[in-house]
Every structure is written in structure tokens, then in C-alpha cells.
Amino acid sequence: MDALTYICREYGPNRLHLSGSFRPNSSSAPSSSYYKGKWFTIARVSQGLFSITFVDSVIDLEFFSAHLRLASAAARFAQGGTWTSGTKVQLVRVVDASGNVQDISSDADNVVSFEAVVRVGSDW
């Protein structure tokens, strides 16, 4: 699974807009060599479920949105799941129109992307 992150915009005192994307890679763990930047890591939890762990500088998540880019047409959607502030983890799941979790890792061109507005501490 590869990932790319970059800071899009500083929204004022201690607020950042982060964007990222990754390619699900079956049951393989993400390769740290694909990460750019320092704001998050991505892990596969189970089929169609991923966790994004933000760095310690992130105090709170103010906005989160996830999207899919699929190689072929399909009724699949990315959803932001639970935010756990204590561990700074945001879950993302890929589902079909019925809400069933789906595996999109069969095509290397499938990409999950996300945007987040985070509040950061003064030490960032």
C-alpha cells in the first residue's frame, strides 16, 4: 500500500488541512518507504477497513472525508468511521450500497484518498 501526504493549507492558528491517499494491497502491511511527510501512518485492519493514525502533534480532528478512485465502475464508497481521540486514530471503511464491507485491493489502480482538518499543538 503506498501513501502520499502533503499539507494543503494552514487554516489559522494551529489548524492544518491534510490530504492523503493510499492503495489497498490485499492483506499486506503498508510499506513505510511510500510515506511522504510526517503527519500520519496507515494500516490495514481487516478487509475493507483501514486505520489512519495521526502524529502526537494532532490534538483534535475537526473534519474528515474519504473518497475512492476505482479502476472500473462499481457501487463502492469510502466512509470515515470512528475517531478515537486518545489514540488519534481515524477508521476508514470501504462499503457497497448495502453497507457491506468490500475489498478493493484486487486492482492496483484503486485508491482511497482522504482530507482532514486537524488542530495541532504549539510544538508542530
**What distance in Å separates the CA atoms of residue 87 and residue 120, rounded to the nearest whole number?**
14
Q: Whose CA is closest to 83, among 100, 65, 101?
A: 65
Which pLDDT belongs to residue 92?
Answer: 95
Average pLDDT for the chain = 81
Sequence ranges of the domains in the chain: 3-120
3-120 CATH fold = Immunoglobulin-like (2.60.40)
pLDDT tens track for 3-27: 444 555 566 678 888 888 888 876 6
Which pLDDT belongs to residue 36?
Answer: 47
Which pLDDT belongs to residue 18?
Answer: 86
- Please tell me whether residue 36 adopts helix, strand or coil conformation: coil
**What distance in Å separates the CA atoms of residue 77 and residue 12, rounded to the nearest whole number?**
31
pLDDT tens track for 69-90: 998 999 999 999 999 999 999 9
**What distance in Å separates the CA atoms of residue 20 and residue 12, rounded to the nearest whole number?**
20
With residue 53 as reference, give the H or E element that holds it.
Answer: strand 49-54
